[in-house]
């Protein structure tokens, strides 16, 4: 595996980078906590609950924090081109806010009851407040980005970052629209699927890496970082699809089978609907309004037998390889690539 080799090559640096990740995550969390301090109590409570810092009563809790993938990639990309990571903490926070508002709205849309092993926001506060906190976080993300100027980022660069983030938000919604539409269809091609996840997932991850390299004054390198982030985002989403079917509830914190019951056209399903010897039966199951609990083991068996999992895993490898090629092509010094490579590999192989 490309991934493992990458990790072994730089194993000396790994312990350092792992510590750095934690440091970056803590810095972004601090930035987000400061933003949440300036919000009214009701909204603050929901925001902090969702971020995992408080329980629903507003009491502090020690829980496993989220992955903070987008913000860490942002900071690592900034650093890789020689930029000042402290300066771009506001944009890192903005990326997390956009991502998390999309999760809160997504949970309503997908009727998901659990996230990170806890009840989702809409389950506790109702759909109305869950819609509202998402909108609120959109505004907070813009305000966070505007703070870049206070950190010394020139106006023109801040404006361009706004462009990048906003275009990514637009694509995210376009992807989400397709994802919802696809629920009612059984004729989704792999091309349709890849286009959908490129928008739904890869666009924001690409914005994270390209904005990081751009704000870090990486100039032309930002293009390569965009490609790196996009390919990594594709691998990330396909891995998410696999975990949504074959993952372990305790690791992902989400109820397994949600994607299937919701008739999501994840890659394994798209593949099996085309390649499985039982595709007619699978099509019938996916043509119901909802897939019942009793039908789930039948669907999983068909997916298992179709080779869909291997196919998905191969595509992850392909996108992961492409991501690392783009990183190489960026011309960034090798020792600056290490942490990003490690992150890419661990995301593609993750079980959480």
What is the binding site for a copy of itself (CB under 8 A)?
Answer: 39-40, 42-43, 101-102, 105, 108-110, 126-129, 131-136, 138-140, 142-143, 146, 149, 155-156, 158-159, 162-163, 166-167, 169-170, 172-174, 176-178, 180-181
CB of 39 to a copy of itself, least distance (A): 8
Element (H or E) spanning 58, and its range?
none
Distant-in-sequence, close-in-space partners of 341: CB < 8 Å, separation ≥ 6:
6, 7, 10, 324, 327
Residue 201 CB, shortest distance to a copy of itself, in Å, is 15
Closer to a copy of itself by Cβ: residue 2 or 173: 173
Nearer to a copy of itself, 151 or 166 (CB): 166
Nearer to a copy of itself, 199 or 311 (CB): 199
Q: Which SS3 state, helix, strand or coil, does residue 18 take?
A: helix
Task: Between 47 and 213, name the residue whose CB sits nearer to a copy of itself.
Answer: 47
Shortest distance, position 19 Cβ to a copy of itself, whole Å: 35
Query: DSSP H helical segments within the chain, as ranges?
Result: 2-9, 11-37, 41-51, 69-80, 89-109, 121-146, 155-182, 190-197, 203-215, 221-246, 249-252, 258-261, 267-275, 279-286, 296-306, 308-329, 334-349
Q: How far is the CB of 181 from a copy of itself (least distance, A)?
A: 6
Q: How far is the CB of 179 from a copy of itself (least distance, A)?
A: 9
What sign does the dihedral 24-25-29-30 (CA atoms) show?
Answer: negative
Cβ distance to a copy of itself smaller for residue 180 or 298: 180
Q: Which residues pair with 54 in a beta bridge?
A: 60
Report the nearest approach of a copy of itself to the CB of residue 349 (Å): 31
Nearer residue to a copy of itself within complex by CB, 42 or 314: 42
Q: CA-to-CA distance for 262 and 283, rounded, in angstroms?
A: 14
CB-nearer residue toward a copy of itself: 157 or 349: 157
β-bridge mates for residue 115, sequence order: 118
23 versus 126: smaller Cβ distance to a copy of itself: 126
Rounded Cα gap, residues 309 and 270, in angstroms: 11
Termini Cα distance of the chain: 20
CA distances from 241 to 99, 134, 250, 281, 298 (A): 18, 24, 16, 21, 18
Q: Which is nearer to a copy of itself, 135 or 190 (CB)?
A: 135
Q: Is 58 left (phi over 0), alpha (psi -120 to 50) or beta?
A: left
Query: Min. distance of Cβ 136 from a copy of itself in angstroms?
Result: 4
What's the CA gap between 46 and 44, in Å, rounded? 6
CB of 319 to a copy of itself, least distance (A): 23
**Of how many residues is the chain composed?**
352
SS3 of 290, please?
A: coil
Smallest separation, CB 180 to a copy of itself (Å): 5
């Amino acid at each position: 595996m490309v991934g493992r080799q990458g990790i072994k090559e730089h194993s000396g640096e790994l312990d350092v980078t792992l510590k750095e990740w934690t440091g970056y995550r803590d810095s972004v969390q601090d930035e987000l906590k400061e933003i949440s301090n300036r919000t009214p109590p009701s909204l603050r409570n929901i925001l902090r609950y969702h971020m995992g810092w408080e329980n629903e009563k507003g009491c502090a809790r020690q829980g496993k924090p989220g992955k903070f993938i987008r913000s860490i990639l942002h900071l690592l990309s900034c650093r890789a081109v020689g930029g000042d990571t402290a300066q771009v903490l506001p944009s890192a926070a903005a990326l997390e806010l956009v991502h998390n508002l999309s999760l809160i709205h997504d949970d309503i849309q997908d009727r998901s009851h659990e996230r990170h092993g806890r009840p989702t926001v809409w389950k506790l506060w109702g759909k109305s407040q869950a819609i509202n906190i998402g909108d609120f976080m959109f505004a907070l993300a813009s305000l966070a980005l505007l703070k870049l100027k206070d950190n010394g980022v020139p106006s023109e660069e801040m404006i361009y970052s706004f462009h990048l983030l906003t275009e990514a938000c637009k694509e995210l919604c376009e992807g989400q629209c397709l994802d919802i539409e696809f629920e009612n269809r059984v004729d989704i091609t792999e091309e349709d699927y890849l286009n959908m996840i490129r928008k739904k997932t890869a666009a924001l991850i690409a914005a994270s890496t390209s904005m990081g390299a751009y704000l870090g004054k990486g100039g032309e390198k930002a293009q390569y970082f965009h490609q790196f982030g996009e390919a990594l985002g594709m691998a990330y989403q396909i891995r998410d699809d696999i975990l949504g079917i074959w993952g372990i509830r305790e690791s992902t914190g989400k109820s397994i089978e949600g994607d299937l019951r919701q008739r999501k056209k994840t890659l394994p399903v798209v593949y099996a609907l085309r390649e499985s010897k039982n595709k007619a039966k699978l099509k019938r199951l996916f043509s119901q309004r909802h897939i019942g609990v009793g039908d789930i083991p039948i669907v999983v068996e068909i997916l298992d037998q179709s080779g869909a999992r291997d196919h998905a895993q191969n595509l992850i490898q392909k996108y992961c390889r492409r991501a690392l090629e783009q990183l190489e092509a960026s011309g960034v010094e090798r020792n600056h690539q290490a942490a990003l490579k490690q992150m890419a590999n661990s995301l593609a192989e993750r079980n959480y």
